[in-house]
Amino acid sequence: MITSNQNIGSLSCLPRVPLCDIKTPIEHMKNLSRIIGGGLLYVKRDDCNGLAFGGNKVRQLEFYFGEAINNGCDTIMMTGAVQSNFIRTAAAACRKLGLNCHAQLEERVDKHDLEYRNNGNVLLNNLLGATLYSFPEGENEAGADRRLEEIAQDLTKQGHSPYIVPMSPDHKPLGALGYIIAAQELLEQINEMKINIDEIVVAAGSGNTYAGLLFGLRALGSHIKVIGICVRRDAKQQYSRMQTRFEQIADLLDMEQLVPDEDIHLIDDYLSPGYGLANEDVYDAMSLGAHYEALILDPCYMGKTTAGLLDRACEGKEEKKNILMFHTGGSPALFGYADELRLKDKNKSNKWNIPNKY
């Protein structure tokens, strides 16, 4: 089924296949709010949107799948890291919709142990019946897309009609549109709950979630500050990418670009040692999220985002800032990092001076 959407520019004219039918809940993080003091902390649980462990990729894929089905395609193709949440979610959506899934795993992370290579999202991809390929480079988006085109040509010769979900930023950002809808959903919820939000913290990887959310908020008249936590590239590179993304979204929706440069806030303090790897502060944030709020966080995306949330909360407690974090999922990838988690010193103090245990 393809459905119409909210009236923001030409959004209602673009085909969309709904992959989740519920508003994801907003939870008050009572324990961390109490311990840190100051304002209130909230989390929007986009990890709970119901499709194969959920996550932000569910919303992102709705418009890609809408276009694919509208074009009569029978096969979805995409590229991503070995522990890609995008590929796992696409494979699940394909099973629900009766489509084939062909996915390319890129060597983005210098990690070669068996758990990373075979567990987590890789295990789920195989369980869901995705056809997997390997690509030797991790930072060559254009090259990865070209290789997908070559595979697509072979599939076409075999009688299939493939649709490629592109990786490189030169293509129209259909994935960002899902978070324009999420922005409207969020504003409706906080109005219903009668809560005030001063800042939103969200991971910024491909940039589709961050760009769609910020563009959507501005299109709907909201001036809530949105902080992007860089998880793949540094803030300077990401800033330029986001400027392009906002222009692309405006063109796609046939409307004015609504996000001024001064509204783009990106932090790369938690990026080191790189994409798919984590430092001690990130592992501490993962432990604190689990111990105090029962949040299951991965080291690639949500561990870094939660470290950013804790810093923002501690810095803003005198102003009593209320901060909301989008939990964008990724929990299956956690099982690819079991060795690192086993080696972590759980009794070590952390930079926020929050006890690791009750």
**To the nearest 10°, the Cα dihedral for 108, 19, 61, 78?**
60
Q: How far apart, in whole angstroms, are the C-alpha atoms of residue 68 and residue 167?
A: 16
- pLDDT for 348 equals 82
Whether the Cβ atoms of residue 142 and residue 114 lie closer than 8 Å to each other: no
Q: Length of the chain, please?
A: 358
- Per-residue pLDDT tens over the stretch 7-48: 799 999 999 999 987 799 999 999 999 999 999 999 999 999
DSSP string computed for 81-102:
ETT-HHHHHHHHHHHHHT-EEE
> Please, what are the domains in the chain?
11-54+173-343 (3.40.50.1100), 56-165 (3.40.50.1100)
- Per-residue pLDDT tens over the stretch 192-244: 999 999 999 999 999 999 999 999 999 999 999 999 999 999 999 999 999 99
| 4: annotated active-site residue | no
Q: CA-based diameter of the chain, in Å?
A: 64
- pLDDT for 6 equals 57
- pLDDT for 167 equals 81
The pLDDT-based confidence of 69 (bands split at 50, 70, 90) is very high
The pLDDT-based confidence of 358 (bands split at 50, 70, 90) is low
Phi, psi of 56 (to 5 degrees): -65, -25
- pLDDT for 357 equals 67
- pLDDT for 2 equals 42
Q: How far apart, in whole angstroms, are the C-alpha atoms of residue 13 and residue 85?
A: 28
Q: How far apart, in whole angstroms, are the C-alpha atoms of residue 250 and residue 211?
A: 11
- Per-residue pLDDT tens over the stretch 94-127: 999 999 999 999 999 999 999 999 999 999 999 9
Q: Is the pLDDT of residue 339 over 90?
A: no
Closest CA to 328 of 357, 353, 308, 350: 308
The pLDDT-based confidence of 171 (bands split at 50, 70, 90) is confident
Q: Is the pLDDT of residue 89 over 50?
A: yes
Whether the Cβ atoms of residue 164 and residue 86 lie closer than 8 Å to each other: no
Q: CB neighbours (10 Å) of residue 176?
A: 28
The pLDDT-based confidence of 3 (bands split at 50, 70, 90) is very low
Whether the Cβ atoms of residue 334 and residue 296 lie closer than 8 Å to each other: yes
**Catalytic residue, candidates 4, 12, 84, 134:** 84
Whether the Cβ atoms of residue 222 and residue 345 lie closer than 8 Å to each other: no
Q: Is the pLDDT of residue 277 over 80?
A: yes
Average of per-residue pLDDT values in the chain? 94
Q: CB neighbours (10 Å) of residue 122?
A: 24
Residues forming a β-bridge with 161: none
Q: CB neighbours (10 Å) of residue 341?
A: 15
Q: In this prediction, what percent of the chain has a pLDDT beyond 90? A: 89
- pLDDT for 93 equals 98
- pLDDT for 1 equals 39
Q: Is the pLDDT of residue 347 over 80?
A: no
Among the residue ranges 108-112, 300-304, 338-342, the one predicted with the least confidence is 338-342
**Which tokens go with 348?**
């070590």
